[in-house]
Structure 1
Amino acid sequence: MEHHDLLHELPEHRETIHSLKTGNAHFAKLFATYHELDRSVRNAEDRVEATSEEHEEQMKRQRLALKDELYAMILAAEGKTA
């Protein structure tokens, strides 16, 4: 299975992610939600948790939207734009 955790997908932003997790409560909450959702998606893909394909796809879309929001926050903290 592919890993979709942010540190795996964005290793070049590791320091910024750490800084935001410890210094920005909103980022930390979104980060935690993203990883909970990622775990649920992996469990659905591995058939550990029973779920419909529609629900699995919905979770994947939510995960992607959260990732986009987190990535934008990372770039903003680094003074960059997407």
Structure 2
Amino acid sequence: MRGLDEWIRRRLRAIAWKQWKRGRTRYRELRRRGVGRDLAAQTAGSPHGPWRLAASPALNSALSKLFFRSLGLASVAAPRPA
């Protein structure tokens, strides 16, 4: 289940990357989510595809487990209340 959870988060990151179609928008969204200037610029200008970039440090910090949890998408590994 943990592997499936990781795959789903990566897929959601790739989808978000596709929705931010242009480099300027990608840079702005990464910066808005707390990614540093250099890393955001390097990632936004990357020629690699969405699936590969979904595993990048920039997208992992911008769209972290906490981000998805705040949207109500609880992680499988999260302990359940008794």
**TM-score per shorter chain, which class?**
0.3 to 0.5
TM-score normalised to structure 1 length: 0.33
TM-score normalised to structure 2 length: 0.33
Structure with higher helix content: 1
